[in-house]
Structure 1
Amino acid sequence: MAECIANIAALKGAAMEPFMTRRMEQLLISGRDLEQRRFQASDRAEDLEPMLEAATVLAVAAVGGIVAMQGSISVGVLAACALLAGRVVAPMARLSAAAQRAVALGTEADVAFEPPGERAIRAETAPGELRVDAEIAGGSARLRFEAPAGAMVAFAGRDGARLSAVLRTLCGLDLPREGEVRFAGVAMSEYRAAHPGAVTYVSPQSELVTGTIFENLTMFGHGGSRESAFEACDLLGLRPEIDRLPRKLDTMVGDGDADGLSASLAHRIAVARAIALAPRVLLLDEPQSLLDVAADRAMVAGLAALKGRMTVIMATSRPSYLDLADQAYALDGDTMIAMTPPRRARSAGAA
């Protein structure tokens, strides 16, 4: 629970709340059943303790009586043995109860760390058109545009907070002040709730969840498959960098980056995690943030390879990213202006 709250931005961006809720429900149910069995075993042990104590005393008295009649021990020794026999049973019963509790705790740990079940909900594969006529949350900028399935749309502007508000409104995290954002004929917020993982948002501050790199890429089994995670890594040129780490995909992250993970690598892992979900709509807020030159080139090449596979919406002012866009818009205050990507502008000027 604490881990989910600490990484709520990453979970909400990937629409993983339903999976984490189901996971928590499974753990609570398993914990309840284990606790119930532990209490039942403890009750049985408490019920058996007096019976076992009485049976032990009787057995010692019977055997000791025979031995005393044969003259091997005195009556005083027999009485002492009977008294000590009763004292021995209680510690043994407590040891048995402690052993049962240890077994129960071990079982609870096994349940907590067992691999989660296969993801039950998948996004639809039919194409979907994005239709936007809405006023963004937290501002008065009006957005009006349509994007076919697989299109790449870019928003540029000097106000980073305003651009973030645009993306959060488009992905359904924030409701528009007025109007609506629709995808595949459905309000985006409703579509996102009905199809977890189909609409994924990656912010510049997206955090990695405490776990290994591989667990982050697959969201602990609730996200993309192993194959899609590897494909996303290859797409963004991550595999060589990950392979250079001492523990490779088993490198622990999200706990203060104890293994010295660079900000550039951590950011691209967050983007790869989103791509591995194979969403129908991928929203990237400043995808170039925190990247060095080589990583930036790999990111541009990876996004270019995504064209036509999913709808990609970016907030960026970097020309190399704007060149990828099928549609580009500049946000000047509250005004949305259609713009020509730099590459096309250069081509038109040359002609």
Structure 2
Amino acid sequence: MSAPATPVPEANPPVAGARALDQRLRSAFENQQEAERRRHLAFESLRNGLASGQFGGLPQDNDAGHAVLCMLEKMSWPCSVDQFARAMPHFPQQFGIIEMREVMARLGFSSTARFVSPNHIAPRDLPALLAHGKSVSLLEADAKGRIFAVDPKTARRRKIKWTRDVSLVSFAPVADSDAQAAPPKSWLNETLRRFGSEVMQLLGLTLFINLMVLATSFAVMSIYDKVIPAGAFDTLAAIGIALSMAVAFELTFRRLKSRLIGHTTGRLEYLMGTTVFSKLITLPVSMITNTPVADQISRLRQFETVRDLFSGPFVAVVLEVPFIIMFMIGLFAVAGPLGFVPLVLMIVYTVIGFLLVGPIRRQNERSGKRQREHYQQTMETVSNLRQIRSFGCEDIWLERLRQKTADASAARRKASLSQRFLSTLSTAAVPVAGASTVVTGAVLVIDGMMTVGMLIGAMIIVWRVLAPIQQLFLMFTRYTEIAQMVNQIDQMMRLPSTETVTETPMKRRFEGDVTFDRVSFRYQGANDSSLMGISFTISPGELIAIEGASGAGKTTVLRLILDLYRPQSGTIHVDGINVRQIAPTELRAAIGYVPQRPALFHGTIAQNLRLAAPGASDADLKRVCDEVGILAAIEQLPKGLDTLLDHARQETLPGGFRQALSIAQALLREPKILLLDEPAKTLDYELEQAFLNCLEQRRGRTTIIMVSHRPSHIRLADRVLNLERGAMKSFDPPEAPKMAG
């Protein structure tokens, strides 16, 4: 009989717990170090790409280029090559502090700039930049709190020549509550509130300018009534010095006012132009595609009218309105009953304005309608010029365009005549009012009710009052038109957007499972449904072909997977998740899409390819171009991948090259789901064979959904989805080819 085994003593629990805790801490520290190392390598990759021209098209190996990456690193920005590439400007003529602030704003960081001296910078202002001329420096602090400037490129200390143009630029992340706040009732009013401090400064400057005008009128009155009769040369000299100072102050204030108006209206013009256009491109696709391009461009031009209104004389006139009352009080104080002359003119202007605003508004609306029709006809003619010539219909289209041009010209002439009549009337009323003031004042002077000095002082004030009244009268007739445009802008800004520009997609790993569950969809304005209650499931890695007659709903299936449109009923799932619950940027980052008509943009071949994968290297671009069979053709070009595809060159590109370039663009991002809409429609035999090899190499790794009618493509598929008038006819493996005889 064997002896019982001796029990092994258990380890001391406190010691084992301490070892486990130490191991976890060490593992966490190593993971943190690894994450920091990867983050540092990612920023180094961005620096290399920025210096080589990978982002934006032009190399940016300057202070601002390096400073923007340094600031992003200090602000703990999650390094995303895609987001950084989309935030960079396209072929910027220069890249300085202004462009850098715009990039930071697109990435979700607000910025403020102020002029500073070295004694007014504190550690609490960091992280920040110092902009001086064309140079940009980083500001850092040592252990003792002393602040010094650093060259963002070399990380060496830099001496700053402190001048009046040195400004401190601070950055802060935009709060989520601010980014997701509900849109205001009036976007334009909310935007104007951002310029509250500038408006108060402008009102203050206008007040001082008008006070100088009043002081001048009272000084002239004193010279005529008191100095000249008394022959007081010493008093005349004192008043002359005072008038000279008043004129100097007025010129200074006017210069400051002009600079401030230019700065403010420039910022407002930029905000209106960029915000309206950014809103337009983030609207749901259904809202954009249902409106003709000509109508959209015409609407943008209407918005430019509002923008030009604020950058024109409108701002200066509006600033003068509050002080008309001040001038009228001064006029009654100086000349008594003479103040009724401009008052009567204001009443006459108002009555005429109310009588004419209706007819002029209707004529302007009619003219605008005819202009839009003419523009639409012109766009349609230019877009279909080849077809028109091939059918020999030049005379018919020329006659149509001639009629539209005649209608637009006639409507514009009537509207112009009405506006000129109004302008002539207002222009004639000013000298009539001035002459009436002089005649009435002369009668009062003869009767002894006022002096010559009072009359001259009153005339100075009258001419000052009549100018803004005349401008207001001319703008009054456009009030309804401007109000309608402002209302259109506010309505568009309140529309829901599909996504935000600064949105950072989650790093979700998709497998490629796609499920349609009783999905029905009908395009807006269409009588029949494009899809009617279809249901199917596509497993990850499957190669699916979709076939059917024209209008069966093949392209609609691809668009719904991309979440470009939302079905009226039913649900679409990707990896078991409803696409409504996935951010559009996150979903589309996992999908490669080749449309029927490939779109190329003004830029180099490399830039067009990097639209799908901004972080792709030149080696990646060459690899995927070689895979689709166009690398040899690209290398024969003078600049290779850096060849600029402007409009003229795009017109000369073969259709097969354009299609293959679009396929390469989709493959470059290594998507988990690849959507192909008639991908080989214009490919020749060699390019089609290269394309089929690409599909074979990705079979089992990528879910491929391809719309095609070619038998070679159908045989390649694992299953074929057959659609007929929006309904699913079958979803089975492809039939084997039948043998003859």
What TM-score do the two structures reach when normalised by structure 1?
Answer: 0.63
- Matching of residues 63-142 of structure 1 within 5 Å: 124-125=508-509, 127-133=511-517, 134-138=519-523, 139=529, 140-142=531-533
Task: Tell me if the contact between 1:284 and 1:313 (Cα under 8 Å) persists in the aligned partners.
Answer: yes
Corresponding residue for 1:315? 707
Corresponding residue for 1:175? 566
Q: Give the C-alpha shift of residue 126 in structure 1.
A: 5.3
Give the % identical residues: 27
Q: Give the C-alpha shift of residue 340 in structure 1.
A: 5.1
- Matching of residues 153-232 of structure 1 within 5 Å: 153-159=544-550, 162-191=553-582, 192-219=584-611, 222=614, 224-232=616-624
Q: 2 CA distance for matches of 1:35 and 1:210?
A: 37
Q: 2 CA distance for matches of 1:215 and 1:233?
A: 13
2:670 is the counterpart of 1:278: yes
Q: 2 CA distance for matches of 1:131 and 1:180?
A: 8
Residue in structure 2 matching 1:265, options 628, 643, 657: 657
Task: Tell me if the contact between 2:598 and 2:659 (Cα under 8 Å) persists in the aligned partners.
Answer: yes
- Paired amino acid for 2:543: M
Over aligned residues, Cα RMSD in angstroms? 3.7
- Matching of residues 288-307 of structure 1 within 5 Å: 288-307=680-699
Task: Tell me if the contact between 1:154 and 1:327 (Cα under 8 Å) persists in the aligned partners.
Answer: yes
- Paired amino acid for 1:193: T
Q: Give the C-alpha shift of residue 311 in structure 1.
A: 0.8
Structure 2: gaps spanning 5 or more residues: 1-80, 90-98, 106-110, 116-130, 135-160, 166-503, 524-528
Q: 2 CA distance for matches of 1:135 and 1:125?
A: 28
SS at match of 1:222: coil
Q: 2 CA distance for matches of 1:260 and 1:35?
A: 51
Q: 2 CA distance for matches of 1:132 and 1:327?
A: 15
* Bigger mean CA offset, 259-268 vs 36-45: 36-45
Q: 1:267 to 1:160 in 2, by over 3 A?
A: farther
SS at match of 1:346: coil
Corresponding residue for 1:150? 541
Q: Deviations over 1:84-138 (max 9, x none)?
A: xxxxxxxxxxxxxxxxxxxxxxxxxxxxxxxxxxxx8685445242111112342
Corresponding residue for 1:57? none
- Paired amino acid for 1:171: L
Q: 1 CA distance for matches of 2:656 and 2:162?
A: 53
Task: Tell me if the contact between 1:286 and 1:316 (Cα under 8 Å) persists in the aligned partners.
Answer: yes
Q: Deviations over 1:167-220 (max 9, x none)?
A: 101221111121111011212354343344212322112312222112222228
Q: 1 CA distance for matches of 2:614 and 2:658?
A: 20
2:408 is the counterpart of 1:334: no
SS at match of 2:647: coil
Task: Tell me if the contact between 2:510 and 2:590 (Cα under 8 Å) persists in the aligned partners.
Answer: no
Q: Deviations over 1:196-247 (max 9, x none)?
A: 4212322112312222112222228625444443332232122222222232
SS at match of 2:545: strand
- Paired amino acid for 1:172: D
Number of residue pairs the alignment of both structures matches: 261
Q: Deviations over 1:265-290 (max 9, x none)?
A: 11211111111111111111111122
Q: 1:221 to 1:190 in 2, by over 3 A?
A: same
Q: 1 CA distance for matches of 2:651 and 2:726?
A: 44
SS at match of 1:159: coil
Q: 1:250 to 1:320 in 2, by over 3 A?
A: same
Task: Tell me if the contact between 2:505 and 2:585 (Cα under 8 Å) persists in the aligned partners.
Answer: no
Q: 1 CA distance for matches of 2:601 and 2:617?
A: 17
Q: 1:259 to 1:27 in 2, by over 3 A?
A: farther
Q: 1 CA distance for matches of 2:727 and 2:86?
A: 40
Task: Tell me if the contact between 1:173 and 1:189 (Cα under 8 Å) persists in the aligned partners.
Answer: no
In our comparison, the structure showing a higher alpha carbon Rg is: 2
Structure 1: gaps spanning 5 or more residues: 1-15, 46-119
Corresponding residue for 2:164? 44
Q: 1:252 to 1:291 in 2, by over 3 A?
A: same
What TM-score do the two structures reach when normalised by structure 2?
Answer: 0.32
Q: 2 CA distance for matches of 1:35 and 1:158?
A: 64
Q: Deviations over 1:38-80 (max 9, x none)?
A: 79999827xxxxxxxxxxxxxxxxxxxxxxxxxxxxxxxxxxx
Q: Give the C-alpha shift of residue 251 in structure 1.
A: 1.5
Task: Tell me if the contact between 1:202 and 1:284 (Cα under 8 Å) persists in the aligned partners.
Answer: yes
Q: 1 or 2 for the larger relative contact order (CA 8 Å, sep ≥6)? A: 1
Task: Tell me if the contact between 1:283 and 1:313 (Cα under 8 Å) persists in the aligned partners.
Answer: yes
Q: 1:258 to 1:317 in 2, by over 3 A?
A: closer
Q: 2 CA distance for matches of 1:286 and 1:278?
A: 20
Q: 2 CA distance for matches of 1:318 and 1:185?
A: 31
- Paired amino acid for 2:557: V
Q: 1 CA distance for matches of 2:715 and 2:665?
A: 24
Residue in structure 2 matching 1:28, options 93, 99, 102: 102
Task: Tell me if the contact between 1:137 and 1:169 (Cα under 8 Å) persists in the aligned partners.
Answer: no
Task: Tell me if the contact between 2:601 and 2:645 (Cα under 8 Å) persists in the aligned partners.
Answer: yes
